[in-house]
Amino acid sequence: MQTGKSYVLRVRRVAAGMMRTDLYPLRTIAGVSPRLWFTNPPALIDAPAAGDLCAFGELGRETLRVLVRDIEPGENLSAKLTLIAEAPGVHVAEQGPIPPLYLAGGEA
């Protein structure tokens, strides 16, 4: 983290069969740390939990909703990611029928 910048933790999860995304503002602590500190800690029921998808970054910067299609290892512990756009409802697909558009191999 860098002094003078605002950071946030974006957490995506399925709750009660619905996709939910929460933003948690973080205290900026300059330097490298294995921990993040919430500006206002959420109630335990609303807090991030194991299995949630998380993204950390600067407040106001965009994140993309994608699926990881492939990971190719590289040199010096690097990797090349192949990402594809996330289809609406993909994380709750097992809870209902597949929309007709996707059954015929149509594009979203």
Tens of pLDDT, residues 33-48: 888 999 999 888 888 8
Is the pTM value of this prediction over 0.85?
no
Amino acid (1-letter code) at residue 12: R
pLDDT at 88 over 80: no
Confidence of residue 79 (pLDDT cuts 50, 70, 90): very high
| 58 plus 73 within the same structural domain | no
Where are the extended beta strands (E) located within 1-108? 7-15, 18-26, 53-58, 66-73, 79-85
pLDDT tens for each residue of 7-21: 999 998 887 778 888
Report how many domains make up the chain: 2
Is the model's pLDDT at 87 over the cut of 90? Answer: no
The boundaries of the domain holding residue 53 are: 1-62
Q: Are residues 52 and 70 in the same domain?
A: no
Please give the C-alpha separations between residue 89 and each of 3, 14, 48, 65, 70, in angstroms, as whole numbers: 38, 10, 21, 12, 21
* Cβ atoms of residues 81 and 71 within 8 Å: yes
Cα angle value 42/54/14 (rounded, 5°):
75
pLDDT-based confidence at residue 103 (cuts at 50, 70, 90): low
